[in-house]
Chains A and B, each alone.
Chain A
Amino acid sequence: MSLLSVSGVSARHGLLTAVREVTCEVEEGETVALVGANGAGKSTLLRTLAGAHPASAGRIAFGGHDVTHRPAHRRTALGMVLVPEGRRLFPGLTVAENLAVAARRARPGPWDTARVYTAFPALEPLRSRDAVSLSGGEQQMTAIARGLLSNPRLLMIDEVSLGLSPAAVDTVYRAMDEISDRPTLLLVEQDLARALAVADRVICLLEGQIVLSAPSREVTREQVTSAYFGLRRAPA
């Protein structure tokens, strides 16, 4: 059985349907990249999976539990954790406090505060800094560290590299690469080359629907690009 199983999930913003009957599976241990143009529904899909946005139809199952109607904090307790777009650190709280908020509600698992600082050594000297005073890359690392502290089985990261300098993107990915026993990852990544390099599988969304889902070894950049813009429907 898959770790995450999504069947026929739709989500809307008012009258606009942002996600249309999406069906997909994510296996334990996989790294999946979610790509697509702006407005394709990537963020809404992740937010719906995490419980931050209501599903208007369909069913979401995680680790054998039907979580479709569970509130976000209970999905987090099951191990479905979202690092939201824009990092969304708590302003006015220090880096250490941001991490402590997550650690206090974490499910049991391998991650604790000490381990997070070992995995992201750049965060150690920033512990007592206000989260809003950090650079974009530092904020993203703090947000990912905060996500890991919940001890996720599935970590969803929305817009890993959006708004970061190329050097910061490298640092974030290098830090993620060095993490041992990494949770299953579902990432939204704007940079196609990067997405194909890190992921085992890519899922491409177009106008709220999946138009391509394939192992990243088996697809070319051109195939993904054409699915991305809807030039030619690749077999889903």
Chain B
Amino acid sequence: MNAVLQGILLGGLYALLACGLSLMFGVMRIINLAHGDIAVIGAFLVWWVSARFGVPPFLALAFALPVMLAFGYLLQMTVLTRSLRAGELTPLLTTFGLAVVIQNALLLIFSPDVRSLGAQTGRLATGGWRVGDSLVVPYLGVVILGVAVAVLGGLHLVLSRTGFGREMRAVAVDPDTAALVGVPSRVVYARATALAVGTATIAGVFLAVQSTVEPASGPTQLIYAFEAVVIGGLGSLWGTLAGGLVLGVAQTVGAQIDPQLSILSGHVVFIAVLGWRSRA
């Protein structure tokens, strides 16, 4: 019971990490191998702003978010647009290279030290509601799950209700025809990437509040995000939320059986879902 609850709360973080990955794949068919590292950049940027100016992390996030949105926009306009032109597999190589560059740049600037934003957030990071004798519901887990639902719901609303979201869906299914009705796919792609980088930044900050980040944290986070996307079904935002929760529950229930099984049981569920999907 406790394990399932903690798993659901952990799953919120995975869903938050995964939604940007899902968005970029859904709109541009780009599998962004640097997604985890971008989340880590976001965390480091917030950590730096917070430490440099002595502001609490969530205020620092308000400064970092526009910077990261602009970073995502420019990344698409410069590097990724060019790679897309060279074929479907090129962005995979490009983002792999980008991941290596990001990890080494972070190492150079911030040293390999482990950082956390937990201390600056105080009771939010450590406190919880006690329910009965054995159950503690951590504040942070609930906040993360709430933010994940809000971000995914917000993305869903943007895609289904706004003109900007409609253009994104039109470009996703048929970029050539979208150009014929006057929609520049390059600009729409850049906005999608900006959104994806923005959500990764939020996820990175919560990761740093909940545990720690270091320059090499990205690839592990990418794997969790990737597994959440695949478990939930490619291109579906609510599926991504469900995928994150399933992955979180698998990990905590696995840990209940044997602490060493935690990560492994998440991977096993992922492989099982993948096997079952490819059979159907």
Q: How large is the interface on A (under 10, 10 to 19, 20 to 34, 35 or more residues)?
A: 20 to 34
Given A97-B166, A100-B166, answer yes or no on A72-B174 (Cβ-Cβ < 8 Å): no
Which residues of B174-192 have CB atoms within 8 Å of chain A's CB atoms? 174, 176-185
Taking the nearest CB of chain A, how far is it from the CB of B233, in angstroms?
15
Q: How far is the CA of A81 from the CA of B176 in the complex (A)?
A: 13
Interface contact B181-A105, CB-CB below 8 Å: yes
Contacts of A91 in B (CB 8 A): 173-174
User: B170 within 8 Å of A by Cβ?
Assistant: yes
> Could you count the A-B residue pairs with CB atoms below 8 Å apart for me: how many are there?
70
Interface contact B176-A92, CB-CB below 8 Å: no
User: B115 within 8 Å of A by Cβ?
Assistant: no
Contacts of A106 in B (CB 8 A): 182
Interface contact B163-A72, CB-CB below 8 Å: no
User: B169 within 8 Å of A by Cβ?
Assistant: yes
Q: How far is the CA of A231 from the CA of B212 in the complex (A)?
A: 79
Question: How many residues on the B side are at the interface (Cβ–Cβ under 8 A)?
Answer: 17
Given A93-B170, A101-B167, answer yes or no on A71-B181 (Cβ-Cβ < 8 Å): no
Which residues of A117-164 have CB atoms within 8 Å of chain B's CB atoms? 146-147, 150
Interface contact A90-B173, CB-CB below 8 Å: yes
Interface contact B182-A77, CB-CB below 8 Å: yes
User: A54 within 8 Å of B by Cβ?
Assistant: no
**Prevailing SS type, chain B contact patch:** helix
Q: How far is the CA of A44 from the CA of B174 in the complex (A)?
A: 18
Contacts of A82 in B (CB 8 A): 180
Contacts of B185 in A (CB 8 A): 73
Q: How far is the CA of A189 from the CA of B174 in the complex (A)?
A: 24
Can you list 20 contacts pairing A with B, beta carbon distance less than 8 Å? Answer: A50-B180, A52-B179, A73-B178, A73-B182, A73-B185, A74-B184, A77-B182, A81-B181, A84-B177, A84-B180, A88-B174, A88-B180, A90-B173, A90-B174, A90-B178, A100-B163, A101-B170, A101-B181, A105-B181, A146-B181
Binding site for B on A (CB under 8 A): 50-52, 71-74, 76-77, 81-82, 84, 88, 90-93, 97-98, 100-102, 104-106, 146-147, 150
Instruction: List 7 additional A-B contacts (Cβ < 8 Å) besides A52-B179, A104-B163.
Output: A71-B179, A71-B184, A82-B180, A90-B174, A91-B174, A101-B166, A106-B182
Binding site for A on B (CB under 8 A): 163, 166-167, 169-170, 173-174, 176-185
